[in-house]
Chains A and B, each alone.
Chain A
Amino acid sequence: MRAFFEKIGYETIIFLESYGRLGVFLARTVKSLFTSRFKLRPVIHQVHFIGARSTFVILFTGLFTGMVLGLQGYYTLRKFGSEGFLGSAVALSLIRELGPVLTALMVIGRAGSAICAEIGIMRNSEQIDALECMAVDPFRYLISPKLLAGIFALPLLTAIFDVVGIFGGYLVGVGLFNINTGAYFQGMYASVVWADVEMGLVKSLVFGLLLVWITACKGFYLHLERTGGFGAEGVSRTTTDAVVLSSVSVLVWDYLISALMI
């Protein structure tokens, strides 16, 4: 019986420590933005890594997502004789929901895992200790450029995803099913309002923050992770955890933001 309560207590402490670390990590990163000299070059470097180098994968995913939306949307709308609404359906689904979520999930897979592994290896090889010993704030030097880049790059990537997705829907709807081009775009103009774009923008900003926050934090505190620890296996386990946790967080926050802004 005692062992049972000990186990519950232990798990509770681990849970609180783990989420407390996330909070402290974000607070220290944000604080570092205001308490030290701002340097643009590292931010640009990270925008290139997180944003520019994800462009191809976003173009590819966006195009096929739009095409499949066009395909599925056409068959569904045809049952109600509303094929003319295909443009609206594709655009609204992408702008409000799929654009921000799928962009975030793809960037987590491409850049988030790399951020966690890079920082985890730096922790393992004492590079973060070295920064602290040089009185260089690792939050300012390492983390805050990544956080700013994530918040900046995600909305841009999401916009690319949306535009390419709408074009994918157009290829299928107009090219394959001969829907009138004017009907496809006119329905879109009529139904998409600023509030839809705003929702997509808010989501992509929040997801940009979430993905860098969680993956960087997991890597930074690799040595304190129960399932992580040191060594190559520790880095791989922690990276997996970081990708899973940030992906799930994106979906949870997607629901919360939708519920608040709908």
Chain B
Amino acid sequence: MDNNFKKVVIIDYQLGNLFSVKQACDTVGVNAEISSNREDILNADALILPGVGAFIEAMNNLKKFGLDTAIQTKVNGGTPIFGICLGQQLLFTESEEFGAGKGLDLISGIIKRFPETIKERKVKVPHIAWNTIFKLNQEWDNTALKDLNNNDFMYFIHSYYVKPKDDDCILTLTNYDGIEFCSAILRNNIFATQFHPEKSADKGISIYKNWALINKLL
């Protein structure tokens, strides 16, 4: 099939800035459409799960539109998915936040909040900053990060972060004011970042391009 017809669905569950995600896709030539339709997701060649805001509200919205099971079906069947920010967190088992409950559970692990203090020193939360990403065990050569260097800057804006059960899925780490956390994951068809590549200038846009190339979407 002609790759021009490969269709990426940007999942719209009524939270977050989808405009810039769509803009990033357009810039690198990915054929992406924004949708909150279950059928569109089931028919997609790849998925992007963006999002800003509260975990609990996001899961409620996904369930309301019947998208949670659609995403699980697709990803378990091998369809590539790219989670961004809250979209990364939703892929995990559950949030530590009281009453927030379960996520999509495609990756084992929990969502934690940054502490307000460390050793009586105040930590500013949310973490809103350009910060560096660095390697743990995985190399970046054949990943969406292939054009990046260790310690390149990406744009972060979040109060929560993921803590995977197994380290092997950790693609990048970031240190915010003494707290080291997982800032991107990769396991088979699942790729996700805590930072916003679509807000991280040229290097961020290269992540969209390379994710699309690796998954033969271009």
Q: Do A and B bind each other?
A: no
Footprint of B on A, CB under 8 Å? none
Footprint of A on B, CB under 8 Å? none
